[in-house]
């Protein structure tokens, strides 16, 4: 696959990727450290024939994106932790009604206003279940500048495939990092775009939610002659509210199973210098910008005669349980490194069944340096 080089920031790459993926609408509200995504799209989207709207708040931002997506447009919003909290209710609406959209969260320190200009990975558990109720969220996590581009492309395709919101996590470090990204050519991106499925038969035979238990709804764009009801209530195959026992059960089970049954389609991980690790070597598990420090630490540790490797989940949710189990069964010394207090470590403990994992955590808004990882490895192993 041919490549091109873009010198930019992570936030700008998010915006460029949205344009290349065919995004036609952005709705949001400026919020540090994600604001540059909207700034760039406010310039690029109109030139590409789309629209970028600054709404009065984050709630309105997600609402107008849902409306645009219902009309058949690829649509996106972007924010940070406090904005995700405000968007939560309507992310739940999009899960229930099966509306495809992309939501980028450039993580900063929290809770509440927290540290607006500092880095954090404090929204990991929120991204698993941003709204109440039963459903299966798909969350992707960029770990470098290139993935600030490629994971947004992938998010749009997954949104249309699974007919639901796809969350893309970056963080303040990646969002404001400036450097070179080597990304696919636009022609390659366009070739990989798969339009959302539509029904083309007789309108009287159209039942948008009348689908198999492992498949998403088929929502034709509004205003195209196919009528259905749009609601956050439990609904039947036409979308009309119902409390019928079996219909309600099958609906909620399908929202889970349409994702769970197709994990191989979206699970993505990086395995860095793991091939030669033995039982008594060191496995580091990290994600996002922290993985960049982890890789440098691993290179230095190996120079010092300590064999270490990195497992990095790129699809954070649903978690890559089988891979995590494989490596934590194989390698005794495991260090989890996060810019929060054990948010993903708890998932690794659940999957692995182990309670002896070591951790390096930081929550003061500063990144974790390679030397801190090196020192922690030497301290605990």
216 within domain boundaries = no
CATH code assigned at 13? 3.40.50.970
Q: Would you say how long the chain is, in residues? A: 381
CATH code assigned at 299? 3.40.50.920
353 within domain boundaries = yes
Do 52 and 168 reside in the same domain of the chain? yes
pLDDT for res 45: 98
> Euclidean distance between the first and final Cα of the chain, in Å?
41
Q: Where are the alpha helices (DSSP H) in 166-273?
A: 172-176, 186-191, 245-260, 263-266
Does residue 96 contact residue 252 with C-beta atoms inside 8 Å?
A: no
- Whether the model clears a pTM of 0.85, i.e. scores above it, the answer is yes
341 within domain boundaries = yes
**Domain stop point among 159, 191, 223:** 191
327 contacts: CB under 8 Å, gap ≥ 6: 274, 283, 311, 334
Q: What is the pLDDT of residues 123-141, one digit of tens each?
A: 999 999 999 999 999 999 9
146 within domain boundaries = yes
Low-confidence ranges of the chain (pLDDT < 70): 1
280 within domain boundaries = yes
3-state SS, 255-291, equals HHHHHHCCHHHHCCEEEECCCCCCCCCEEEECCCCHH
What is the residue range of 346's domain? Answer: 270-380
209 within domain boundaries = no
pLDDT for res 1: 58
Q: What is the pLDDT of residues 38-67, one digit of tens each?
A: 999 999 999 999 999 999 999 999 999 999
Do 55 and 174 reside in the same domain of the chain? yes
**Domain stop point among 148, 173, 191:** 191
200 within domain boundaries = no
Do 176 and 310 reside in the same domain of the chain? no
pLDDT for res 2: 78
**Domain stop point among 150, 173, 191:** 191
Fill in the DSSP letter of residue 195.
Answer: P
Do 64 and 161 reside in the same domain of the chain? yes
């Amino acid at each position: 696959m041919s490549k091109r080089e873009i010198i930019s920031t992570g936030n700008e790459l998010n915006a460029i990727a949205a344009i290349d993926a065919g995004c036609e609408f952005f709705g949001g509200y400026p919020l540090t450290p994600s604001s540059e995504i909207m700034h760039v799209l406010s310039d690029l989207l109109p030139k590409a024939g789309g629209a970028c709207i600054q709404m009065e708040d984050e709630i309105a931002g997600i609402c107008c994106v849902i409306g645009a997506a219902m009309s058949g447009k690829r649509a996106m919003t972007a924010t940070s932790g406090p904005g995700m909290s405000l968007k939560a209710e309507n992310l739940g609406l999009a899960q229930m009604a099966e509306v495809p959209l992309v939501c980028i969260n450039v993580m900063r320190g929290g809770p509440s206003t927290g540290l607006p200009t500092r880095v954090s990975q404090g929204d990991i558990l929120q991204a698993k279940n941003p709204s109440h109720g039963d459903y299966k969220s798909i969350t992707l996590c960029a770990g470098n500048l290139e993935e600030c581009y490629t994971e947004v492309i992938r998010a749009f395709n997954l949104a249309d495939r699974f007919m639901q919101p796809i969350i893309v996590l970056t963080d303040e470090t990646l969002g404001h990092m400036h450097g070179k990204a080597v990304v696919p050519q636009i022609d390659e991106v366009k070739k990989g775009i798969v339009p959302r499925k539509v029904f083309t038969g007789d309108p009287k035979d159209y039942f948008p939610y009348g689908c198999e238990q492992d498949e998403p709804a088929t929502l034709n764009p509004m205003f195209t002659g196919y009528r259905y009801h749009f609601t956050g209530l439990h609904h039947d195959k036409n979308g009309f509210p119902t409390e019928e026992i079996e219909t309600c059960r099958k609906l909620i089970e399908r929202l889970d199973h349409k994702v769970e049954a197709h994990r191989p389609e979206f699970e993505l991980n990086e395995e860095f210098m793991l091939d030669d690790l033995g039982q008594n070597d060191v496995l580091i598990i990290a994600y996002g910008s922290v993985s960049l420090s982890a890789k440098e630490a691993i290179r230095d540790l190996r120079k010092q005669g300590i064999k270490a490797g990195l497992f990095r989940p790129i699809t954070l949710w649903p978690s890559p349980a089988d891979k995590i189990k494989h490596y934590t069964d194989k390698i005794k010394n495991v260090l989890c490194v996060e810019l929060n207090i054990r948010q993903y470590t708890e998932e690794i403990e659940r999957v692995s069944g182990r309670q002896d994992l070591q951790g390096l955590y930081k929550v003061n808004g500063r990144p974790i340096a390679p030397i801190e990882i090196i020192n922690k490895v030497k301290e605990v192993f």
